Structure 1
Amino acid sequence: MPFSIALSGLNAASSDLEVTGNNIANSSTNGFKSSRTEFSDVFAVSTGGVSATAIGSGVRLANVAQEFGQGNIDFTSSTLDLAINGEGFFVLSDGGSQIYSRAGAYNIDRNGYVVNSAGQRLQVFDPIGTSGDTFNTGSLSDLQVSQTEGAPQATSDIGVNMNLDSSDPVITAPFDPNDATTFNFSTSFSVFDSQGVEHSATVYFQKQASNDWDARLYLDGTGPGDVVQVGGSDTFNFTFDDAGQLVSGSGDLTGTEVVFDAKNPGNGAADLNFTMDLAEVVQYGGGFTVNSLSQDGFAKGKLSGLSISDEGVISARFTNGQSNALGKVALASFPNPGELRQVGNTNWAETFSSGQPLVGEPGTGSLGAIQSGALESSNVDIAAELIKLITAQRNFQANSQVISTADTITQTIINIR
């Protein structure tokens, strides 16, 4: 009987060594969660129960419990390295089956899908539109980064913030865009047509009387016969009060907005249609100044990179300064994560005991935030594991000594004459 009891102790110590060794072996594995051995004693139970003088039959391995404590966050130089600061698991598609992981080292495969080293695809919520404000949290999809160019957008709104010098003289000469003596000030900026072609726009200001100005918008070209006035007749007049604030206008100016006639860019693109807002144009002394000129058009763009917010919103950045939301990282939590089944590659699978996954957005409920450019390291405490090694080794040696003692006793009995 002592042999079998000691043998169960050897097996228990060996299991303890295996779990501890596995923890130590994975101390540098990103997203790895340590485990601990849990043992229970063994008694031979009769129908009458265990008597007060019953001797135990040894020990058995009751459970290998997983410890899902937070690992340290280590920063990297890759945007697609993701760490979860808090609870939750990344959701991955493994050939259509969902698995879960805390390891966030991802890259883009040849088809544009964001995958881990095993080719398992990261799951996200699809955006509703491209603004990145709302997402369809009712379904999951593979995150795919398109390598296509970003579509251009035609200019439709122009914002102007400037000061027209009230001390400048009145000009009575007929306006000529090629003669700087026929206008007081001019400023140029770029606009874009529906195909993303850039056009040069110039606004000329000519003072008609005190507090009274004419303005004209011309497109493309600088030499005689090259400049083309938008719509052919878009001259608008506006006046200021004695405090230098815009008070009224005429021509194409309504309120503070100028709606220009359509202009054919001549390259097959749709007609250009501008609206210019003069709400921030003032007339003070001290010189002509342009504080800002803004317009909402842009050329086509190529993918220049990705950005990922703390809320898990993944956006594609383009060389034209625009960005589009591609998706929002989905995280899953479980009622009993300790019962998840380890399936290798630092992944877990759902079990009946773990409960069904609760999939949600990062930073909501109990789910943690996403840290881009970082990886969660293993939560293994090397110092603690080395102490466990010593303890397991002593337990193994002690049980070996029990076997040696039992063998000596047995030999003594056999040698009785």
Structure 2
Amino acid sequence: MGFQQGLSGLNATSRNLDVIGHNIANANTTGMKASRAEYGELVASSLGTGGGSSAGLGVEVSTVSQQFTQGNITVTNNDLDVAVNGAGFLQLELPDGSAAFTRAGELKLDRFGFIVTNTGAQVLGYQTDIAGNRLSFATNPIQLPTAAPIGANQTTAITAEFNVDAEAVVWNSVVPNTPLTTYGTSLTAYDSQGVEIPVSMYMRKVANDQWQIYTDPTSAATATASAVGLLNFGTNGLLTSTVPAALTVPITSPNPAIGTFNVTLDVATVTQYGARFAVSDLSQDGYPPGELVGVKIEENGVILARYSNGETQAAGQFAMVNFRNVQGLAPTGHGQWIETLESGQPIQGAPTEGKFGSLRAGALEDSNVDLTQELVNMMTAQRAYQANAQTIKTQDQVLQTLVNLR
């Protein structure tokens, strides 16, 4: 009797309904990948036989495969939400120290400043310098400086870009004389403790195509005690040389222990044209201490931390992994997978490098479950279940007929 075939069909179809139900239940789960039950025929074989004389033993679920297609990306505007757009997984360190991988980018900051998932797993990344350049390929949990402010940075260099008026009269050649504050600018520098120090620079024309820079207009009126240097311009209005060749500006801290320190002055782009005096750029590299106020994640995984002092510095880079056989990964729940022998070892990299996808900050990858298709699959599986049940019923009727023979 063929009860076995019908029973195997019921078991396989019931397993398929379980898979479909799991997909439907997780239609709104971030980063979830749909599964599919794949059937295989059961056939009894014996040595030395061939052809198709045997009826077969039924069906079984050979495997439940995962469908790693890209899910839709939904914008959330949450700074720590991350969607992987393309191939690859975020690398995690579970609370027990083991490794796991995920595409569910619902990330948070814990009380120690580590970037973690909803289950407490720490996200791994690469160490970078403040400009975002990767320093090594060793991965460590990503930690943002939330516990203490970043330290102050003493000003070491000033960059000035301005134009001096080629039609200006030579200083002391007219009465009344041109005020020294006519051509001047200022900025704020910082000592090693982050204390603000105002720095002023004044220019006066001492000869055709020659200008002097001073830091004190009073001193410039009588002597050259605060002179920074001399600027020489060519007939095309561009700077040809400075005296001395390397200009420095002395800055005195209000803290006597720090005293006076010299800061380099870059004036390579200064010009002398027949136009009004104008400053187009004035910057320096110092800053006071600052607290973390926000983060921004770039497409290449670099994390930019914003501080209350106006500074933006890289705080690390997300690490990504991929596998030769992603179907071999074992799901462990909560949108996480672990490595198996079938998946092979993880191939490490960073977002946008090689075949790795990019990161979309402020967004999440939706489940790739097609709800309409799953409902159709469920109806098809239901009919298959009914058909297998009918074969058992039919076999039972045949058996009853045999038993009732007289």
For residues 108 and 252 of structure 2, the distance between their equivalents in structure 1, rounded to whole angstroms, comes to 46
Shift of 1:213: 3.7
For residues 169 and 46 of structure 1, the distance between their equivalents in structure 2, rounded to whole angstroms, comes to 111
Task: Give yes or no for contact 2:230–2:244 (8 Å, CA) kept in 1.
Answer: no
Correspondence list, 1:191-210, <5 A: 191-210=189-208
The one-letter code matched in structure 1 to 2:68 is F
Shift of 1:182: 5.5
Shift of 1:376: 1.1
> CA 1:75 to 1:52, structure 2 compared with 1: closer, same or farther past 3 Å?
same
Shift of 1:345: 0.9
The one-letter code matched in structure 1 to 2:192 is S
Query: Which residue of the other structure, out of 232, 238, 244, is the alignment partner of 1:254?
Result: 244
The one-letter code matched in structure 1 to 2:122 is R
> CA 1:172 to 1:331, structure 2 compared with 1: closer, same or farther past 3 Å?
same
The one-letter code matched in structure 1 to 2:27 is S
Residue 377 of structure 2 aligns to a residue in which SS?
helix
Structure 1 counterpart of 2:361: 372
Query: Which residue of the other structure, out of 310, 315, 330, is the alignment partner of 2:304?
Result: 315
Shift of 1:160: 2.1
Structure 2 counterpart of 1:133: 133
For residues 245 and 404 of structure 1, the distance between their equivalents in structure 2, rounded to whole angstroms, comes to 99
For residues 351 and 248 of structure 1, the distance between their equivalents in structure 2, rounded to whole angstroms, comes to 66
Shift of 1:269: 3.4
Task: Give yes or no for contact 1:44–1:50 (8 Å, CA) kept in 2.
Answer: no
Correspondence list, 1:112-123, <5 A: 112-123=113-124
> CA 1:234 to 1:355, structure 2 compared with 1: closer, same or farther past 3 Å?
same
Does structure 1 residue 351 correspond to structure 2 residue 340? Answer: yes
For residues 214 and 66 of structure 1, the distance between their equivalents in structure 2, rounded to whole angstroms, comes to 73
Residue 18 of structure 2 aligns to a residue in which SS?
helix
- Please provide the CA RMSD for this pair: 2.7
Structure 2 counterpart of 1:301: 290
Correspondence list, 1:7-406, <5 A: 7-49=7-49, 52-94=52-94, 95-127=96-128, 129-137=129-137, 139-147=138-146, 148-172=148-172, 181=179, 184-218=182-216, 233-234=226-227, 236-241=229-234, 243-247=236-240, 253-255=243-245, 257-261=246-250, 263-266=252-255, 268-269=257-258, 271-406=260-395
Superposed CA offset, 1:374-411 (max 9, x none):
21111111222111111101111111111222222222
Shift of 1:334: 1.3
Identity %: 37
Residue 268 of structure 2 aligns to a residue in which SS?
strand
For residues 204 and 353 of structure 2, the distance between their equivalents in structure 1, rounded to whole angstroms, comes to 58
Shift of 1:51: 5.7
> CA 1:14 to 1:207, structure 2 compared with 1: closer, same or farther past 3 Å?
same
Residue 132 of structure 1 aligns to a residue in which SS?
coil
Residue 291 of structure 1 aligns to a residue in which SS?
strand
Shift of 1:75: 1.6
Shift of 1:316: 1.5
Shift of 1:361: 1.8
TM-score, L = length of structure 1: 0.87
Structure 2 counterpart of 1:176: none
For residues 49 and 256 of structure 2, the distance between their equivalents in structure 1, rounded to whole angstroms, comes to 95
Residue 105 of structure 1 aligns to a residue in which SS?
coil
Task: Give yes or no for contact 1:155–1:273 (8 Å, CA) kept in 2.
Answer: no
For residues 158 and 171 of structure 1, the distance between their equivalents in structure 2, rounded to whole angstroms, comes to 26
Residue ranges of structure 1 left out of the alignment (5+ in a row): 174-178
TM-score, L = length of structure 2: 0.89
Task: Give yes or no for contact 1:43–1:50 (8 Å, CA) kept in 2.
Answer: no
Deviates more, 1:186-195 or 1:316-325: 316-325
For residues 299 and 317 of structure 2, the distance between their equivalents in structure 1, rounded to whole angstroms, comes to 10
For residues 337 and 49 of structure 2, the distance between their equivalents in structure 1, rounded to whole angstroms, comes to 40
For residues 90 and 247 of structure 1, the distance between their equivalents in structure 2, rounded to whole angstroms, comes to 53
> CA 1:194 to 1:58, structure 2 compared with 1: closer, same or farther past 3 Å?
same
The one-letter code matched in structure 2 to 1:108 is L
Residue 375 of structure 2 aligns to a residue in which SS?
helix
> CA 1:386 to 1:292, structure 2 compared with 1: closer, same or farther past 3 Å?
same
The one-letter code matched in structure 1 to 2:304 is S
Shift of 1:105: 0.9
Task: Give yes or no for contact 1:29–1:377 (8 Å, CA) kept in 2.
Answer: yes
The one-letter code matched in structure 2 to 1:338 is Q
Shift of 1:14: 0.6
The one-letter code matched in structure 1 to 2:244 is T
Alignment size in residue pairs: 399
Superposed CA offset, 1:311-362 (max 9, x none):
1112222223323322221111112111211111111111111111112222
Residue ranges of structure 2 left out of the alignment (5+ in a row): none
Shift of 1:112: 0.9
Superposed CA offset, 1:269-288 (max 9, x none):
36331222333333333432
For residues 379 and 22 of structure 1, the distance between their equivalents in structure 2, rounded to whole angstroms, comes to 13
> CA 1:245 to 1:412, structure 2 compared with 1: closer, same or farther past 3 Å?
closer
